[in-house]
Each structure stands twice: as C-alpha cells, then as structure tokens.
Amino acid sequence: MKLDRIDIKILRRLQTHGRISNVELAEAVGLSASPCLARIKKLEAAGIIVGYEARFDLAKLGNFVTAYVQVILKNHRRSEAQRFEKAVLRFPEIAEFHMVNGKFDYLMKIIVPGFDGPGRIMQQMWQADLGIQSYSVFIVSGTPIQNASVPIDE
C-alpha cells in the first residue's frame, strides 16, 4: 500500500495520541470525519495499523523489574530454535523477544515483579532444557529515553 502525506499524518498522530477521537484526528490532519475513518480502516486492513494499546507506569503498579536477557543456544539447527521460540511463548513475563545477529542468538525483555524475578524466569527456562547454552541478564536501573513513537518519513 502506498502511503500519501495524509496517511503519514494520521499515523504520526495516532502514535502519540492513540485515544484521540476520529473527529479530533480528522481535524488534526485536515479531513472530515468520514474520509478520515475510511483511511484508518484502510490502514488497519492493510496491516499497517496492527492494534492499539495502553501504557502503564509500572512503578505505580508495584515492585516491577525490567531486564534484558541475551541468550545463546547450544546448537543452531532451525528445529532447536523453533522449539525454543515456541517455549518462550509460555512465559507472559517476556514482553519482547527478538532473534538477533551477533555474539548471541536472542534478546528478551522481561518485566516481572521483584528483583529476583528475571533470575527466577531464566531458572525456569534453564530447567526446562530448552537448548540454552548460556545467558546474561541485565537489570534496567533507569530509562532516560522512552519513545513510543518512531519517525515516519513522507
């Protein structure tokens, strides 16, 4: 799907104002409400807009810890990687899961209550014999920049 400048304006606005009403969005991008809604539906149907979500201040919800984990698998056969990837889906504490290039195979973002939470999750994975050779856990001590939006060029 080829995006025009109005589509780009809609996407930029929705990134930062996900709860904006259709009328307000239409006004912000220079359309009337009906054509604006039609464009949103078209962007959704094309799979460009894949969902809407709320973000939370985890500090106000409890003692949550965020950690990044680098994982190296014992072997790199696709069947073993798929087995590991499927098993990771059983852990709701894993907020992000990426296959990466470089010195390790996967990068996971874990968000869990308690300082010992990331280690507990990794211990469960280790004991499940998922083909992990090694892993390194990095506890997040602060987040100076947290951008929820990405730059979308016209």
CB 118 within 8 A of CB 65: yes
Write out pLDDT tens, residues 97-143. 999 999 999 999 999 999 999 999 999 999 999 999 999 999 999 98
Q: Are residues 37 and 67 in the same domain?
A: no
CB 65 within 8 A of CB 112: yes
Q: Are residues 84 and 29 in the same domain?
A: no
CB 131 within 8 A of CB 74: yes
pTM here? Answer: 0.83
Confidence of residue 11 (pLDDT cuts 50, 70, 90): very high
Cα torsion 14, 16, 19, 20: sign: negative
Number of domains in the chain: 2
Q: Are residues 91 and 114 in the same domain?
A: yes
- Classify residue 76: in a domain, yes or no: yes
Question: 40: domain CATH number?
Answer: 1.10.10.10
**Buried/exposed code over 23-42 (b: 16+ C-beta within 10 A; e: otherwise):** eebbeebebeeeebeebbee
- Classify residue 95: in a domain, yes or no: yes
Range of the domain at 33: 5-45
CB 85 within 8 A of CB 136: no
